């Protein structure tokens, strides 16, 4: 019986010792925070898209290609834009013809017709004048009635008015359009030219070019696919503007300031590089680590800390891990 008691006591002692060892190891390992902060390399990217919908006709680059500013990246086919351009140019040509007509005035044949119309009206006035003179003399002699005299007077007045109207029309034909009419014609022409320029700007969006040099990091559609206005077609990474993004708890943030420098390690390149902190911003209320107290007085927020390399690093690409020793 004593042997069994000693075995039980020994087993209990072993279990207690094991629990103590596990607790000590857990305290030393899990309780101790890592002294390494891991970040990721990032780069400025600009998205290539078009202002007009169309179908992908050609993609002239591949992912990973280096492009220079002005290089053609892709071609789109947009039949709607082509049709609108034809319409706008037709309106521009018609408006330009009307503007030239206003500037030059009536054609010679029209001017001659207006002159002949004036001469006919003038001849009719001469006849009416002679007829009135004869009728008036007969009226004075008591041969015709006053009614006949009044009719001859009315015919003369009508012929005189017709002559004056024909003469005014002939003068307008010689003079051409006035300043207001010329201004209206010119503004209509400018409006038509503006419409052509607008459609041309849309047509230029069917040829997509790089606005700056960089590396093609992603291509979204394939040849033949239909893309909408503003839909992303590809991304260009500007590798000359690389930075590193670290996530640091705010209770550790007091050890860092904008303008501070540090040494960082890039595992993919097995290289150390100097970095300078230039940006800090919280990641929002959703980015928390833990409550500072068991009662939960407040939660520790996460801040994004950005640092840029102090020297150009060859082979440094977005997504690479970067390690930095945490400051105490």
Domain holding 313, by residue range, is: 35-44+239-325
Residue 21: inside a domain: yes
pLDDT digits (tens, 9 = 90+) for 289-315: 555 444 456 677 888 999 999 998 888
pLDDT digits (tens, 9 = 90+) for 23-77: 554 454 444 455 788 999 999 888 999 888 889 999 999 998 999 999 999 999 8
Residue 39: inside a domain: yes
- Count up the domains in the chain and report the number: 2
pLDDT digits (tens, 9 = 90+) for 184-237: 777 887 888 888 888 888 888 889 999 888 899 899 998 989 988 888 999 999
The predicted structure's pLDDT at residue 19: 67
How far apart (Å, rounded) are the C-alpha atoms in residues 268 and 19? 41
307 and 281 in a single domain? The answer is: yes
The predicted structure's pLDDT at residue 244: 93
* pTM across the whole model: 0.53
Structure tokens given for 158 = 């009508």
Residue 23: inside a domain: yes
Q: Specify the CATH number for the domain of residue 292.
A: 2.40.30.170
pLDDT digits (tens, 9 = 90+) for 83-113: 888 888 888 888 887 777 665 655 677 677 7
């Amino acid at each position: 019986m004593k042997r069994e008691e000693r075995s039980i006591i020994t087993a209990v002692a072993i279990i207690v010792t094991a629990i103590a060892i596990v607790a000590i190891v857990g305290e030393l390992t899990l309780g101790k925070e890592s002294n390494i902060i891991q970040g990721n390399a990032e780069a400025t990217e600009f998205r290539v898209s078009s202002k007009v919908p169309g179908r992908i006709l050609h993609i002239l680059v591949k992912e990973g290609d280096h492009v220079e500013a002005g290089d053609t990246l892709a071609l789109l086919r947009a039949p709607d834009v082509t049709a609108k351009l034809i319409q706008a140019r037709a309106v521009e040509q018609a408006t330009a013809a009307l503007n030239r007509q206003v500037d030059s005035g009536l054609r010679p044949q029209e001017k001659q017709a207006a002159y002949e119309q004036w001469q006919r009206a003038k001849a009719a006035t001469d006849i009416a004048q002679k007829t009135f003179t004869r009728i008036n003399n007969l009226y004075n002699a008591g041969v015709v009635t006053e009614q006949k005299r009044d009719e001859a007077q009315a015919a003369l007045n009508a012929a005189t008015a017709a002559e004056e109207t024909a003469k005014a029309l002939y003068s307008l034909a010689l003079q051409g359009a006035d300043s207001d009419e010329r201004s209206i014609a010119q503004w209509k022409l400018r409006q038509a030219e503006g419409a052509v320029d607008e459609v041309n700007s849309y047509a230029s969006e069917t040829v997509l070019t790089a606005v700056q040099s960089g590396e093609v990091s992603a291509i979204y559609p394939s040849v033949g696919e239909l893309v909408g206005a503003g839909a992303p077609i590809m991304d260009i990474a500007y590798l000359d503007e690389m930075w590193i993004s670290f996530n640091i708890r705010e209770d550790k943030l007091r050890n860092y300031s904008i303008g501070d420098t540090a040494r960082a390690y890039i595992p993919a390149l097995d290289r150390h590089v100097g970095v300078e902190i230039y940006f800090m911003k919280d990641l929002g209320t959703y980015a928390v680590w833990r409550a500072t107290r068991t009662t939960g007085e407040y939660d520790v927020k996460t801040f994004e800390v950005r640092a840029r390399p102090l020297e150009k690093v060859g082979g440094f690409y977005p997504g690479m891990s970067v390690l930095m020793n945490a400051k105490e």
